[in-house]
DNA sequence: CTGTTAGCGCCTTCAG
DNA sequence: CTGAAGGCGCTAACAG
């Protein structure tokens, strides 16, 4: 398994081609005017020697790394994976690479990551669904020269943003309305712990009250944003509040946990219990009964975040935002 | 959104602390002997000035980027996402970051990526389930100083490997045996297009023949490794070969497509058609009927790949490998 | 159109 | 234990 090779440098190419290193540099970067025969000769040598510029050297002098940092809470969740896919796609088109950081839903880790991914490491940063409170997040963001947040409101001076057209709690609000219209009387809510895409207990209570429905603060629970979380919290909720006839889940994986817990408890879905999920993941459509959910343009969210970021990296210091829409998809799990 | 700041350099710190830049360097890298009071003073200045070393400069001189490149065919597939999670986890422990490259199941793109991620970009590379034929893959790999492949046999001189203990076609072979033992008579196979974890048509035919069962070359199909692929290919297969009573699918998402196609066609699973999937994804367990599949230690695969790679980066030029086991999980979709 | 000069910020080497 | 010199590979800014 021994392999090594001396790095071929600009000078090597220059010497071999009988020109100065600047000429080679210009050929590579397609900058400045170069005689076409010189260019051809240099190109030939570059290929022959298999020369490839050193990113480190270039970065040192241009202070451009051509790297985009992406911070996500859980790459294992297809929701985030598709966003990353979108970022990667656009980055690639612009000859940027993606530095992925998965914080494993661990705020400490997110904190560490945000302070380590400085401008000598990446040219810009996309922070997706940060799990940090403003008090810790904002100071960390201040140091980043180019920044885009996804699903997180921060001051416009700090970052461009990709977010829901209708606001952060749009999804749960619409889900609740849908359940109300479907005639559900006792609607529970599993809100995503630490996520910004969430409805507050107060708002939840207010909505149901306004609709003239019964509510209990107990029907609202914070829940880890995954299957296990949904399962555990729902088991508990179902045991303590068996009167519930429907549940708004923060995302699809939580909804799946809810579905499982409901099945275990012998509840028929949707007859005894209606469920609405969150993001339109493959899971949601393939499970039985198929889960009502929201279609979210995940790839496009990632792609737009990357575009906004590249704009900043390119020198545009204005605030920009991309608003996406998400619409309810009604399937078998709800009225 | 205007933000900028002059980079604080080693010299700045040195000047402020009244020492030479070398001393500061040594303090940062914990190298050489330094007087404890000097060290304390330097540390204080570092914190006060919020100094952070330039990765680019460091990389230029040490030719270490502290970056690990990971190439996956589809980050959207939880199977790969969990592997990436494992890589990221271990990388993080060792102060390495992960450069993610998603090739979108596009061999051209994989090719481009492999030739661009050279040693000035990453310290090493983990190639997961390459979709390239040996003829194009091997030459590309030769240039990488530190390399680990996952689920792909390459010459030991080229890379360390993480792979299935029982060989690349272990999964389909076991699945077929399981179906045979379950009394299935006409077993079809959806093999993953371009994947190395696959059984060949010849082997497939040989296995069934050896078991004294009927076979047709037509019952074996290559299939894109995702839900849509499984759905489309299975629709066709079911139309053309309605006699099949069971299917071995290359992975869970394909199996899900198969399940869907079967349902559409009015086939009951497993009564009319048994299905075995591939990797133990959340999907497989939550769908109805729950899919038989194989449990694969995805996180651990990624983690071990990272460990093997770090070993190489650390200078160990021996060949190493990590063999993992995967066992059949029988659920409702098969006998 | 092409070459020269001067660093980018850090670490290696060798002196003290 | 600490410092001075030199250079990693590249490009910006001037020459010509």
Count other C-beta atoms under 10 Å from residue A126's C-beta. 28
Q: Both tokens of residue A10?
A: 């600009």
Least confident of A9-18, A107-116, A190-199, B1-10: B1-10
pLDDT at B128 over 50: yes
Confidence of residue B29 (pLDDT cuts 50, 70, 90): confident
Count other C-beta atoms under 10 Å from residue A224's C-beta. 20
Helix H or strand E encompassing A177: helix A170-181
Predicted pLDDT of residue B132: 95
With the C-alpha atoms ordered A11, A13, A16, A19, is the resulting torsion angle positive or negative? negative
Confidence of residue B253 (pLDDT cuts 50, 70, 90): very high
Give the position of tokens 């299917």: B247
Residue nearest C8 (alpha carbon to C1'):
A61
Query: What is the four-CA torsion angle of A212, A218, A219, A220, rounded to 10 degrees?
Result: 100
pLDDT in tens, A192-245: 999 988 899 999 999 999 999 999 999 999 999 999 999 999 999 999 999 999
CB spacing of B97 vs A99 below 8 angstroms: yes
Share of residues in chain B with pLDDT > 70 (%): 98
Nearest-5° Cα angle at B271, B267 to B272: 40
B3 reaches A (C-beta below 8 A): yes
pLDDT at B79 over 60: yes
Tell me how far apart the alpha carbons of residues B156 and B160 are, in angstroms, rounded to a whole number.
Answer: 7
pLDDT at A4 over 60: no
CB spacing of B84 vs A75 below 8 angstroms: yes
Average pLDDT of the segment spanning A82-110: 96
Among A66, A73, A100, pick the best mutation site for testing chain B contact (most B Cβ within 10 A): A100
Confidence of residue B317 (pLDDT cuts 50, 70, 90): confident
Report in angstroms the alpha-carbon separations of A164 from A249, A296, B88, B304. 18, 9, 29, 39
Bases on strand D under 7 Å from any protein CB: 1-5, 7-13
Predicted pLDDT of residue B260: 95
Average pLDDT of the segment spanning A53-59: 92
B20 beta carbon to strand D: under 7 Å = yes
Minimal C-alpha gap between B1 and chain A (Å): 4
CB spacing of A120 vs B63 below 8 angstroms: no
Q: Both tokens of residue A18?
A: 């009988």
Residue nearest C12 (alpha carbon to C1'):
B61
Tell me how far apart the alpha carbons of residues B15 and B21 are, in angstroms, rounded to a whole number.
Answer: 8
- Could you give phi then psi for residue A244, rounded to 5 degrees? -60, 140
Question: Among residues B116, B123, B50, which one has the least CA distance to residue B306?
Answer: B123
CB spacing of A76 vs B85 below 8 angstroms: yes
Contacts of B93 in chain A (CB under 8 A): none
CB spacing of B84 vs A97 below 8 angstroms: no
Window 218-277 of A, Cβ < 8 Å to B:
227, 253, 256, 259-260
pLDDT at B165 over 60: yes
pLDDT at B2 over 50: no
Predicted pLDDT of residue B1: 43
Query: What is the four-CA torsion angle of B153, B155, B159, B164, rounded to 10 degrees?
Result: 30
Q: Both tokens of residue A195?
A: 């996520």
Tell me how far apart the alpha carbons of residues B43 and B41 are, in angstroms, rounded to a whole number.
Answer: 5
The chain-wide mean pLDDT, for chain A, equals 93
Least confident of A84-88, A285-289, A303-307, B245-249: A285-289
pLDDT in tens, A37-48: 888 888 888 989
pLDDT at B107 over 50: yes
Share of residues in chain B with pLDDT > 90 (%): 78
pLDDT in tens, A165-175: 999 999 999 99
In terms of pTM, does the model score above 0.85?
A: yes
Average pLDDT of the segment spanning A49-71: 92
Window 176-205 of A, Cβ < 8 Å to B:
none
pLDDT at A128 over 80: yes
Report in angstroms the alpha-carbon separations of B282 from A256, A275, B287, B327. 10, 19, 9, 16
Q: In angstroms, how far is the first alpha carbon of chain A from the final one?
A: 62
CB spacing of B260 vs A81 below 8 angstroms: no
pLDDT at B12 over 60: yes
pLDDT in tens, A129-146: 999 999 999 999 998 889
The chain-wide mean pLDDT, for chain B, equals 92
Report in angstroms the alpha-carbon separations of A17 from A29, A43, A299. 17, 9, 45
Among B50, B76, B263, pick the best mutation site for testing chain A contact (most A Cβ within 10 A): B76
Query: What is the four-CA torsion angle of A16, A18, A20, A21, rounded to 10 degrees?
Result: -20
- Which residues lie closer than 8 Å to B113 by C-beta, 6 or more apart? B71, B101, B103
pLDDT at B179 over 90: yes
A76 reaches B (C-beta below 8 A): yes
Confidence of residue A5 (pLDDT cuts 50, 70, 90): low
Average pLDDT of the segment spanning A252-270: 95
The minimal CB distance from A256 to the residues B60, B104, B286 is found for B286
pLDDT at B176 over 80: yes
- Environment class of B290 (CB within 10 Å of its CB; exposed 0-12, middle 13-18, buried 19+): middle
Q: How far is the CA of A23 from the C1' of C2 (A)?
A: 7
Helix H or strand E encompassing B67: strand B67-72
Confidence of residue B4 (pLDDT cuts 50, 70, 90): very low
Average pLDDT of the segment spanning B91-116: 94
Window 82-121 of A, Cβ < 8 Å to B:
82, 84-85, 88-89, 92, 97-102, 104, 109, 117-121
pLDDT at A35 over 90: no
Confidence of residue A6 (pLDDT cuts 50, 70, 90): low
**Phi-psi bin for B30: left (phi > 0), alpha (psi -120 to 50), beta?**
left
Average pLDDT of the segment spanning B303-315: 95
pLDDT at A154 over 80: yes
């Amino acid at each position: 398994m021994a392999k090594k090779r001396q790095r071929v440098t600009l000078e090597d190419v220059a010497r071999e081609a009988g020109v100065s290193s600047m000429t080679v540099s210009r050929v590579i970067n397609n900058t400045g005017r170069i005689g076409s025969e010189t260019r051809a000769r240099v190109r030939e040598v570059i290929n022959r020697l298999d020369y490839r510029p050193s990113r480190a050297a270039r970065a040192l002098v241009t202070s451009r790394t051509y790297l985009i940092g992406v911070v996500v809470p859980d790459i294992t969740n297809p929701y985030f994976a598709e966003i990353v896919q979108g970022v990667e796609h656009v980055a690639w088109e612009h000859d940027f690479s993606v530095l992925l950081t998965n914080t494993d839903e661990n705020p400490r880790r997110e904190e560490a990551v945000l302070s380590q991914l400085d401008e000598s490491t990446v040219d810009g940063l996309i922070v997706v669904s940060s799990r940090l409170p403003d008090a810790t997040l904002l100071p960390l963001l201040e140091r980043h020269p180019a920044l885009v947040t996804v699903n997180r409101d921060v001051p416009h001076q700090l970052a461009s943003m990709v977010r829901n057209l209708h606001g952060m709690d749009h999804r749960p609000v619409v889900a609740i309305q849908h359940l109300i219209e479907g005639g559900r009387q006792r609607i529970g809510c599993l809100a995503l712990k630490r996520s910004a895409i969430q409805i507050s207990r107060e708002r939840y209570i207010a909505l149901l009250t306004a609709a003239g429905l019964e509510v209990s603060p107990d029907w609202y629970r914070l829940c880890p944003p995954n299957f296990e979380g949904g399962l555990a919290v729902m088991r508990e909720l179902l045991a303590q509040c068996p009167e519930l006839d429907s549940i708004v889940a923060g995302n699809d994986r939580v909804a799946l946990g809810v579905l499982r817990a409901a099945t275990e408890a012998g509840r028929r879905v949707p007859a005894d219990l209606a469920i609405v999920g969150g993001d339109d993941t493959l899971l949601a459509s393939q499970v039985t009964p198929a889960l009502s959910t929201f279609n979210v343009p995940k790839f496009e969210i990632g792609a737009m975040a990357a575009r906004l970021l590249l704009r900043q990296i390119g020198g545009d210091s204005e605030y920009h935002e991309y608003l996406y829409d998400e619409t309810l998809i009604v399937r078998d799990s709800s009225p």
